[in-house]
Amino acid sequence: MTKRISAGRRLVTTSILLLGLAANSVLAQTKAPFTFGVALPTTGAAAPFGLDQVQALEWAVADINAKGGANGRKLNAVILDTQARPQVGIDVVTRLVSVEKVPLVITAFSAVVAAVAPIVNRNNVLTFVIGANSPRIATMGDYVYTTYPLADVDVTLLAKYARTEMKKSNAAVLYLNDESGVYGARVFRENFEKLGGRIVAYESYEPNSTDYTGAILKIRASNPEIVHLQGNAGDSPQAIAQLRQLGIKVPITSYTAAYNPQMVKQLGTQADGLIVASLAPGVADLPSVASYVERWKKEKGREPNNVPVTQYVHDGAYVIKALVEHLDKTNTPLTGENLRKALLELKSFKLPLTEDVTINENHTVFKPVYLLEVKGGAFVPIRVFK
């Protein structure tokens, strides 16, 4: 009797479980995908970087979807090209907001972010800025958040490193005359001077130019002990090449925009003395990063341009997954407002390639800074500042 009851119970339980699983599966299949926008440069000077960031994101989305999506809801990215130009960025984000009706956008490049911020704020579209570093990004509105540390983190550290560790008493700053360059350069200048250093030249170049001779000649005339470069991913290699070409052999510090193994390959030992601040763990720091870089080598035959930023963009998909799952738990509509609320509720995320990230109240994030230096024509890790 007991045996019969037990068998019957098992049958009923199994049936219920199977039914539940089937229902869950049907529900998962019927859940509408979550579509978000991506506004990154896929043509133009920054295309080599934007394309790699898009690739990283596509892999992350594919991996998430292959494992069932965000609690059964597939992620779907609408990717549009900004050329890293503010005007194009405005057109692209307007289309994402008005035509594609996305509640969330991923974008980068400080000048583009400054241009599109009013649009996303007005339309309550949650925006993740990943890779741009102008300190002003933290104050660009309620819907603009960064998952990537701003210049206050890495550029401040570079200024301190140059002054206190390298004992440089004077420095020259070469910066791109746009949102990212102007404000990033200011961070370096203020911090270097605060520590008793002297800025002997503070020169800029225009976004639409490729010849920086004038600014570099002035830097040469000021005879600095170190040069800080605050450019973009697209122009930094040219700036470094022209600095070296005009006989400036002193160390050059720069942020992650200059973390470009391809450029170092082109410049060879001329790039020696370039010190860059990376904001993501490297191959030696995290096994998942090693696998990720291996994947690049296997599938693309090379390392990605600006590896750290691609790691952050990759992980952006996992932040979105977490937000969608959080809202789906309570059947809350996936609107920009609700996604923002979810972001503020969750705050901290454990991410595969960039580890723990916490979104601060003031729209900033703090992460360890990994310093690398080009020695013998290759990037070599020199220090981690936690």
**Binding interface with other proteins (CB under 8 A):** 43-45, 47-48, 83, 177, 203-206, 208-211, 213-215, 217-218, 220-222, 234, 237-238, 241, 244-247, 266-268, 270
Of 215 and 353, the one with the shorter C-beta distance to other proteins is: 215
Residue 144 Cβ vs other proteins, minimum distance, rounded to whole Å: 26
Residue 365 Cβ vs other proteins, minimum distance, rounded to whole Å: 30
Of 20 and 214, the one with the shorter C-beta distance to other proteins is: 214
CB 60 within 8 A of CB 305: no
Residue 240 Cβ vs other proteins, minimum distance, rounded to whole Å: 9
**Which pair of tokens denotes residue 152?**
């206050």
Residue 312 Cβ vs other proteins, minimum distance, rounded to whole Å: 23
Of 196 and 247, the one with the shorter C-beta distance to other proteins is: 247
Residue 47 Cβ vs other proteins, minimum distance, rounded to whole Å: 5
Residue 84 Cβ vs other proteins, minimum distance, rounded to whole Å: 9
Of 41 and 336, the one with the shorter C-beta distance to other proteins is: 41
CB 272 within 8 A of CB 376: yes
Taking the C-alpha atoms of residue 36 and residue 77, their distance in angstroms, rounded to an integer, is 5
Of 158 and 173, the one with the shorter C-beta distance to other proteins is: 173
Of 237 and 282, the one with the shorter C-beta distance to other proteins is: 237
